[in-house]
Amino acid sequence: MHAFLEIQRQDRLNYILPITRNLSVGIPGREFMFGGVGLAASVAAMEAASDRPAIWATAHYISYAQPGNDAEITVDLPAEGNAITQARASIHLGEREVLTAAAALGTRTGLDGQWVKLDNVPHWRECDESSHWSGDENLGSRIRFRPARGSFGNLPNAETRTNDGRLLIWMRPVEDISIDRIMLAVIADFMTPGIRNATGRHAGGNSLDNTIRYGAIVPTEWVLCDIQIEVIHAGIVHGAMRIFAEDGTLMASASQSMILRVRD
């Protein structure tokens, strides 16, 4: 169903997601499925079940899924209208629920417009490539990163850090995979580099939720992710991301809350 995730369709409402190391993050021996993979798999399953494109989707993360397991995705379509379908999805490992998701899917005709603009930042060709710090053979190694503004790395660089909590970074899959709604759901979960840039600390987070809202999907080789860490309070991080195509089209906007993890 999708080259990045390799979801297997059982029937209209049931799917299998093999959880492999290249869909996981974390230190060796304690790896777990990347949150964006869970959201993306849920979107893929709900799109397949409804035969309609996602308008928005949200995931609530309940527990972890370790590599080496086959996760079961179950879809429910409680409302199927003439143009819009309301859907739910859940991912389980046996009896244990990993996440629950909801989405609206469909298309309508009408006005089009975009008022949020792409910042004037260096093109990806002008930016140096950086490796993800999580190592080889996991999900971080399947994404290419070219920071355009702010500090990207395991240990933040004081000279490049921004003081407004914003990190702008070009991303694309290493593999020759089109950047579609499924791929955008994966990319939208790379919020933790923004925490390091904002705080200047060796810090990250575990997602509590993730919501993505889609605009026009246009062909693009790279996307610019405008990450904004909005506030950290009581051990919780709230952040947002806007994802632009190279031509400035706002393809998606995302937001999430995370449990703050400081690893100094």
pLDDT digits (tens, 9 = 90+) for 112-129: 999 999 999 999 999 999
CATH superfamily of domain region 124-262:
Hotdog Thioesterase (3.10.129.10)
CB of 91 closer than 8 Å to CB of 42? yes
State the CB neighbour count (10 A cutoff) for residue 80: 13
Taking the mean position of all CA atoms in its chain, how far away is CA 78?
A: 25
What pLDDT digit, counting tens, does each position of 42-94 carry?
999 999 999 999 999 999 999 999 999 999 999 999 999 999 999 999 999 99
Count the neighbouring beta carbons within 10 Å of the beta carbon of residue 78: 9
- pLDDT value of residue 155: 78
User: Can you give the pTM of this predicted structure?
Assistant: 0.96
What's the gap between Cα 87 and its chain centre? 19
| 14, HSE (Cβ side, Cα atoms, 13 Å) | 5
The CATH T-level fold of domain 8-106 is Porin (2.40.160)
Distances (CA, A) of 167 to 139, 187, 242: 20, 14, 11
Residue keyed to tokens 């860490």? 229
> How far apart (Å, rounded) are the C-alpha atoms in residues 153 and 197?
8
Task: Domain ranges for the chain, please list them.
Answer: 8-106, 124-262
Could you list the mean pLDDT of each consecutive 10-residue stretch along the chain, which spans 264 residues?
Answer: 93 97 89 96 98 98 96 98 97 97 96 94 95 78 96 85 96 97 98 95 94 98 98 98 98 98 88
Q: 127-149: string of b/e by CB count within 10 Å (b at 16+)?
A: beeeebebeeebbbebbbbbbbb
